[in-house]
Amino acid sequence: MDDYQNDFANDLTTPAFGQEPRRSWFGRNWFWLVPVLILVPLCCCCGGPLGLFWWGASQLKSMPPYVDSVTAAEQDPAVQQALGTPIEVPTVLGFPNGGDFDFSFDATGQTFEATIVLNGSAASGTLRIEAQSPNGVTWTYTVRQVELADGTVIDLIPAGQGGTPPTDDAPVDDSADPESPEAPETKTPDE
């Protein structure tokens, strides 16, 4: 048995006459081992934060204020006329390119603020969104408007549902205010 083991060991280590010696395990497997040894740590270090960013951005993009506001802007006739159709959000790797997002929550509810670039066939604009929700299901918009390059603002909040306060440029009717000096005098029947 001892001679058999010696012969077997010699067969593995010494090549037969005219053959090259057998390469080591690393010599036979380096072509897949080296990339794995480089890529695994790289994926763990860089892939984790990148994956977390990807997940967070996709969650913001799927929130009701984003989806509803972009849909409202795409379907609004005034926005379609100003920007041209089709209206699209420019993306890089599936995420909005340009603008910014801010989402926060505390004990009182959630707040969503965003500026999103919109591109149409004729022009570009910026969609501004500010919304609050006490429960994450129903959202109240304080600002949902498209700002054009020339400064024109198209409000996307339906009448009666709040919206942006009037600007200083809007005329104010003071005739109904009795304290106003320009208010017309009213006479009572006793006078």
Q: What is the pLDDT of residues 103-126, one digit of tens each?
A: 787 878 888 888 888 888 888 888
What is the pLDDT at residue 179?
Answer: 53
Contact 145, 154 (CB under 8 A): yes
User: What is the C-alpha end-to-end distance of the chain, expressed in Å?
Assistant: 137
Place 3 in a pLDDT band, splitting at 50, 70 and 90.
Answer: low
Q: What is the mean pLDDT of the chain?
A: 74
| 95-96/100-106 β-pairing | unpaired
The per-residue pLDDT for 2 is 58
Q: What is the pLDDT of residue 114?
A: 85
* Other beta carbons within 10 Å of 130: 18
Mean pLDDT of 174-186: 50
Per-residue pLDDT for 139 more than 70? yes
3-state SS, residue 79 = helix
Q: Which pLDDT score is estimated for 183? A: 47
Of the pLDDT bands very low, low, confident and very high (cuts 50, 70, 90), residue 189 is: low
Strands (E), the chain: 91-92, 95-96, 100-106, 109-119, 124-133, 140-148, 153-155
CA distance 65 to 87: 18
